[in-house]
Amino acid sequence: MKRDTQITGNIGMYYICYKLSKLGWNVMPTARNAKGVDIIAYNRNCSKFISIQVKTLSKRNPVPLGSSLEKVMGDYWIIVNDVVNTPNVFILLPDEIKEKAHRGEKKGKVSYWLQPKSYETEQFKDAWNRIGEIE
């Protein structure tokens, strides 16, 4: 069954909220399709806040980054592919996204993509330690 991209995105975002909650973070999704990050999380005493951008894919595909890398923001980027069957999670920093982004140009229009070979590595796979557990 082919799912609407909004539904696929919701599955990924709420899956990441669930995983972060299990690590002890208080998690709040932001307004859908708003510019900015997708998730704000904080510890119990509100002394630490993190912001997360989630990119969800229904299968192993490149991650579209848009026409500019200026939209790469937040503290972490989490890519979830094969979200419906067996979610694979990859956790990167914004600078890593920018560094690994592929620039394409077609008919004078520029677009940026993150190829699977750039994010599907042992360094990033299930790298929840990069975010950390709240005690």
Residue 77 domain-assigned (yes or no): yes
CATH of the domain at 46: 3.40.1350.10
Residue 125 lies in a domain: yes
Identify residue 123 by its one-letter amino acid code. Answer: Q
Nearest to 40 by CA among 52, 54, 55: 52
pLDDT tens string, the chain, 135 residues long: the values are 677 888 898 999 999 999 999 999 999 999 876 678 999 999 989 999 999 999 999 999 999 999 999 989 999 999 999 998 999 999 999 999 999 999 999 999 999 999 999 999 999 999 999 997 775
Number of folded domains in the chain?
1
78 Cβ contact partners less than 8 Å away, ≥ 6 residues apart: 16, 52, 53, 54, 55, 89, 90, 91, 92
In a domain, 97, yes or no: yes
| Residue 135 is assigned to a structural domain of this protein | no
State pLDDT tens for residues 48-73: 999 999 999 999 999 999 999 998 99
What pTM was computed for the model? 0.92
Token pair recorded at residue 30: 């932001």
- Residue 63 structural domain: 5-130
